[in-house]
Amino acid sequence: MSAKDAPPPLPEPLLVEVADSHTHMDLQSGTVEEALIKAAAVGVTTVVQVGCDVKGSQWAAETAAAHENVHAAVALHPNEAPRIVLGDPDGRSRQGARRGGGDAALDDALNEIDRLAALPHVRGVGETGLDFFRTGPEGVAAQERSFRAHIEIAKRHGKALVIHDREAHADVLRVLDEEGAPERTVFHCYSGDAEMAGICAAKGYYMSFAGNVTFKNAQPLRDALAVAPLELVLVETDAPFLTPAPFRGRPNAPYLIPVTVRAMAEVRGMGENELAGAIAANTARAFDY
Ligand SMILES: [Zn+2]
Ligand SMILES: [Zn+2]
């Protein structure tokens, strides 16, 4: 393992315990137990494990049932819905058939998400939303249909809605308005600017900041964090992705939350304990645990 692939060192522990509001332990190396022990050692005592497809959502629900401090969110990722309907572009046969299952296959998958969303350890429905970066125009209809279905599921079960919004701010906000957002809605890996933070604040949407808030080119994100109401601010790793600076490019995991919390405290000009306390209360309120 070269130094570039090595897990970053343990940061100084936070004195006030917080939650990682969005992680993918199924995509990280090591066991769940190892990840939780390492995270707890630095004050990250709660994690929300997020599923992106049927299998991952089942795994998230099982993992949450087995661990008191793990809560689950279940969904078909915005890039997964078109894949189910249309098939994987990489899986094209020589005839050009894409081997997708059509709308019926999407309905089957949504029914399973609906079943999982009823479970007590499942506290969120997501990540769902729109992603115009990975999904091309041919997948937009399936993506939006899936998003609307997830909003309905979240509302019916009284669970938090976890939004994935990549290069789709206006359309995500439009669909939320059209459907009526659930009582608790979280923009995971918040990627809007300060103006959008004002819109989210007015609607009462939570904004969850990930490691990219530490990136050099992320000033608009820091400007958004600076104006977001404190009671709507969450922190997440989205691990194994988006490792905070100065460890960018190396594997991310929940134990690196303190690095991001400290950078966020600096942006807001407040102490890390005060910020951690607010984040802990906000995450518990958002996911109702
Ligand atoms: Zn996402
Ligand atoms: Zn994610």
Collect residues with CB below 5 Å from ion ligand 1. 127, 164
Mean pLDDT of 64-89: 94
Token duo for residue 72 = 């689950």
Indicate the pairing of strand 185-188 with strand 44-50: unpaired
pLDDT of 125 strictly over 90: yes
Cβ proximity of 77 and 53 under 8 Å = yes
Cα–chain-centroid distance for residue 212? Answer: 13
Q: What percent of the chain has pLDDT over 90?
A: 91
Return d(Cα 202, Cα 196) in angstroms, integer: 10
Cα of 215 vs centre of ligand 1, distance in Å, is 17
- Could you tell me the residue ranges of all domains in the chain? 18-250+281-287
| pLDDT, position 34 | 97
Cα of 95 vs centre of ligand 1, distance in Å, is 33
Return d(Cα 46, Cα 58) in angstroms, integer: 19
Question: At the topology level of CATH, where does 18-250+281-287 sit?
Answer: TIM Barrel (3.20.20)
Nearest alpha carbon to residue 207 among 262, 160, 166, 163? 163
Cα of 127 vs centre of ligand 1, distance in Å, is 6
| pLDDT, position 2 | 65
Collect residues with CB below 5 Å from ion ligand 2. 238
| pLDDT, position 136 | 86
CA dist list (Å): 121 to 116, 218, 234, 262: 9, 34, 20, 30
Cα–chain-centroid distance for residue 242? Answer: 12
> For residue 235, what pLDDT band results from cuts at 50, 70 and 90?
very high
User: Cβ-count burial of 66 within 10 angstroms (0-12 exposed, 13-18 middle, 19+ buried)?
Assistant: exposed
Cα of 130 vs centre of ligand 1, distance in Å, is 10
Nearest alpha carbon to residue 53 among 131, 118, 106? 106
Cβ proximity of 256 and 244 under 8 Å = yes
**Facing residues of 161 across strands?**
125, 185
pLDDT of 8 strictly over 70: yes
Mean pLDDT of 204-219: 98
Average of per-residue pLDDT values in the chain = 95
Nearest alpha carbon to residue 128 among 58, 68, 176, 63? 176
Mean pLDDT of 138-166: 97
